[in-house]
Chains A and B, each alone.
Chain A
Amino acid sequence: MSKIIGTEEKGGVVIISTEGYLNKDLALAVMEEASKHIDNGTINILINLSKSNIVNSIGASIIIELIEKLQEVNGSLSFCELPSIIEKTFKIMGLTKYCDTFENQEAALEQLT
Chain B
Amino acid sequence: MSEANPTVELKLPIIENMELVATQTSEVVSKHMDLSEEKTSEISMALIEACINAFEHSETKSEIYIHFIISDDRLTIKVIDKGKGFDTSNVKIPNIEKKLKSNERKRGWGILLIKELMDSVDFESSNDGTTLTMVKNKINNE
Task: Tell which of A8-16, A63-71, A103-111 binds the partner.
Answer: A63-71
Taking the complex as formed, is A89 at the interface, i.e. its CB lies under 8 A from any CB of chain B?
yes
A98 near B44 (CB under 8 angstroms)?
no
Residue numbers in B under 8 Å from A23 (CB-CB): 17
What total of chain A residues lie within 8 Å of the partner, measured CB to CB?
27
Could you say which of A56, A57, A64, A84 contacts B96, with CB atoms under 8 Å apart? A64
Interface residues on B, range: 20 to 34
Taking the complex as formed, is B57 at the interface, i.e. its CB lies under 8 A from any CB of chain A?
no
Residue numbers in A under 8 Å from B28 (CB-CB): none
Interface string of A45-69 (1 = CB under 8 A from B): 0000000001111101110110110
Residue numbers in B under 8 Å from A94 (CB-CB): 95-97
Residue numbers in A under 8 Å from B49 (CB-CB): 56-57
Could you say which of A61, A83, A85, A98 contacts B109, with CB atoms under 8 Å apart? A61
Q: How far does the alpha carbon of A65 sit from the alpha carbon of B112 in the complex, in Å?
A: 19
A21 near B20 (CB under 8 angstroms)?
yes
A85 near B42 (CB under 8 angstroms)?
yes
- List 4 additional A-B contacts (Cβ < 8 Å) besides A57-B110, A95-B96: A54-B23, A64-B100, A85-B45, A93-B113
Could you say which of A54, A84, A89 contacts B113, with CB atoms under 8 Å apart? A89
B99 near A56 (CB under 8 angstroms)?
no
Residue numbers in A under 8 Å from B19 (CB-CB): 56
Taking the complex as formed, is B101 at the interface, i.e. its CB lies under 8 A from any CB of chain A?
yes
A56 near B100 (CB under 8 angstroms)?
no
Residue numbers in B under 8 Å from A89 (CB-CB): 45, 113
A85 near B48 (CB under 8 angstroms)?
no
